């Protein structure tokens, strides 16, 4: 009986490891795709700013935007607009704060950059939005709103 249980447990373990490996490979492809998209919109904007902090801020913020899109689908004009919005926030707020901070240099800029929320123009009822979980025929949309400080919340909106 122990042999059967151990053999079964081993097979389940092997299957779990294969599944985890497949997920990790998919995550690596996703990270590579997001990085490529970020670089494409920098190139399209002819953005030649070589400030490494700008590049980190841009990559973090553009990745945040891309994660809101199903299948990382973004049109060229949309990506250009998001680039311009991120650039504007960088120049008007973030860089200005970093240059003039009375508290000295920020110790972990990546962590701080992730706390900055840009109000990206998103339509949560757009089926391309990653937060859309609705069906048209029922006459009601279901919007799942993710908040890292709270549990998932579902909001019902009538047509």
The pTM (predicted TM-score) of the whole model is 0.65
Each of the 159 residues of the chain gets a pLDDT tens digit; together they read: 444 457 778 888 888 888 888 888 888 888 888 888 888 889 989 988 989 999 999 999 999 898 887 777 788 888 899 999 999 999 999 998 888 888 777 888 899 999 999 988 776 666 656 554 444 333 333 333 344 444 434 433 333
Closest CA to 62 of 36, 44, 86: 86
Q: Where are the domains of the chain?
A: 2-121, 123-159
Spatial contact of 46 and 103, defined as CB atoms under 8 Å apart: no
């Amino acid at each position: 009986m122990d042999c059967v249980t151990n053999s079964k447990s081993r097979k389940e373990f092997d299957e779990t490891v294969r599944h985890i490996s497949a997920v990790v490979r998919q995550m690596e492809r996703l990270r590579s795709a997001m990085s490529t998209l970020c670089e494409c919109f920098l190139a399209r904007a002819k953005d030649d700013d070589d400030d490494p902090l700008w590049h980190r801020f841009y990559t973090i913020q553009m990745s945040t935007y891309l994660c809101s899109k199903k299948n990382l689908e973004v049109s060229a004009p949309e990506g250009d607009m998001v680039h311009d919005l991120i650039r504007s926030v960088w120049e008007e707020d973030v860089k200005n704060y970093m240059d003039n901070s009375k508290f000295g240099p920020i110790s972990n800029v990546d962590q701080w950059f992730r706390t900055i929320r840009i109000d990206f123009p998103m339509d949560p009822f757009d089926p391309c939005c990653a937060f859309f979980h609705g069906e048209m025929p029922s006459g009601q949309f279901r919007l799942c709103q993710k908040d890292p400080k709270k549990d998932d919340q579902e909001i019902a909106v009538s047509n």
